[in-house]
Amino acid sequence: MSENQSAKSGLSQRKRTEALMAWLFSAPALVLLTAFLAVPFLMAVGLSFTDQRLIPNPNLPTQFVGLRNYLRLLEDEAFLRGLLNNFYFAAVVVPLQTGLALFLAILVNQKLKGMNVFRTIYFSPVVTTMVVVAIVWTFLYNPDGLINSVVQAISFGNLGPYRWLQNTSLVFPAIMVLSIWQGAGFQMVIFLAGLQDIPEYLYEAAEVDGANIIQQFLHVTLPQLRNTTIFVVVSTTILAFKLFTQVEVMTQGGPQNASMTTVVHLVHQGWQNLRVGYASTISIVFFLIVLGISILQRHLLPEERR
């Protein structure tokens, strides 16, 4: 009887120790995530309804302003241009970069000599810091730089020279090109992993059925890569909305907001102009867009992979 009881209490003792240890193991991460992610996020929600400044003026206390910041967004040309540019960027870069990455992955997935060398070369821009990429490409885009020479050479002198980063219609496409250059290798590797997961017998069966290379690509490769493709498309779209570093280094959103983006505007408002309240409003809108894209991804993925 007493033995049984002590065994029981020993068991519940062990359970209690386990729970205690679990909380000890979890505590550091939970504290940090709460303090530096959850709290600032809730602050953003609250601050978006105020006129909070980074360094408050003691004579003008921070006030609750209701929906004023949100209404102001609708008339803020830089914000609207930035948002539109993010959609423009996503519409061009997502299909181009995804397509390029898939094409590269298929190329280097062949069992040929030297594939590893090519994979390494295509991936090397990924390990190049974006600030460096932006500065090197600024040099390439110089009015008397390499890119103008190439454009003039292939058009037999009919096109250019352009002032790429000073021209309102060229500046954003110019930034898109270097973004694709830097990012394609990352997605190529993800596609490569997806390709290597496709069982060989599917191709053998297709070949027996007389499918040519294009048919094999359309009816075996693409369907098998469905989840990988959704992931790549969604993560590239989210990256398009986070666009900041290359723009800030190269143009700060100019000329005339032609290369403005949501995050560039958010940082300029909150950090340069010290308008924390208004910047928080932009943050919330930005977050809702990213959230929307993520929810879309969950709906696109089949049930068992969610």
Least distance from C-beta 130 to other proteins, angstroms? 5
From residue 20, how far is each of 9, 15, 23, 31, 234 by CA, in Å? 16, 9, 5, 16, 39
283 contributes a contact to other proteins by CB under 8 A: yes
Which of the ranges 79-87, 116-124, 162-170, 215-223 carries the binding residues for other proteins, by CB under 8 A? 116-124
Shorter beta-carbon distance to other proteins: residue 1 or 157 = 157
Extract the tokens encoding 255. 């000329």
Residues 7-36 touching other proteins, rule: CB under 8 A, are: 15, 17-19, 21-23, 25-26, 28-30, 32-33, 36
Q: How far from each other are the two terminal CA atoms of the chain, in whole angstroms?
A: 49
Provide the 3-class DSSP secondary structure of residue 50: strand
64 binds other proteins (CB under 8 A): no
The radius of gyration computed from the CA coordinates of the chain, to the nearest angstrom, equals 26
Question: Does position 259 bind other proteins by CB under 8 A?
Answer: no
1/114 with CB nearer other proteins = 114
Beta-bridge partner residues of 50: 64
The only residue of 193, 205, 218, 222 in contact with other proteins, by rule CB under 8 A: 193
Q: Residues touching other proteins: how many (CB under 8 A)?
A: 97
User: Does 230 participate in binding other proteins (rule CB under 8 A)?
Assistant: yes
Give the distance, in angstroms, between the CA of residue 257 and the centroid of all CA atoms in the same chain.
21
Q: Does 291 bind other proteins (CB under 8 A)?
A: yes
The Cα 243–Cα 252 span in angstroms is: 12
Cβ-based neighbour number of residue 34 at 10 Å: 11
Per rule CB under 8 A, is residue 172 in the interface with other proteins?
no
Cβ-based burial of 10 (10 A; exposed 0-12, middle 13-18, buried ≥19): exposed
Number of H helices, E strands in the chain: 15, 0
Q: Are 259 and 247 in contact (CB under 8 A)?
A: yes
Closer to other proteins by CB, 1 or 158: give it.
158
Which of 68, 242 has the CB closer to other proteins? 242
Residue among 8, 11, 40, 66 that touches other proteins (CB under 8 A): 40
d(C-alpha 63, C-alpha 69), whole Å = 12
With contacts defined by CB under 8 A, name the span among 63-71, 74-82, 168-176, 242-250 that binds other proteins: 242-250
Pick one of 132, 154, 159, 218: the residue that binds other proteins (CB under 8 A).
132
| From candidates 63, 120, 155, 215, binder to other proteins by CB under 8 A | 120
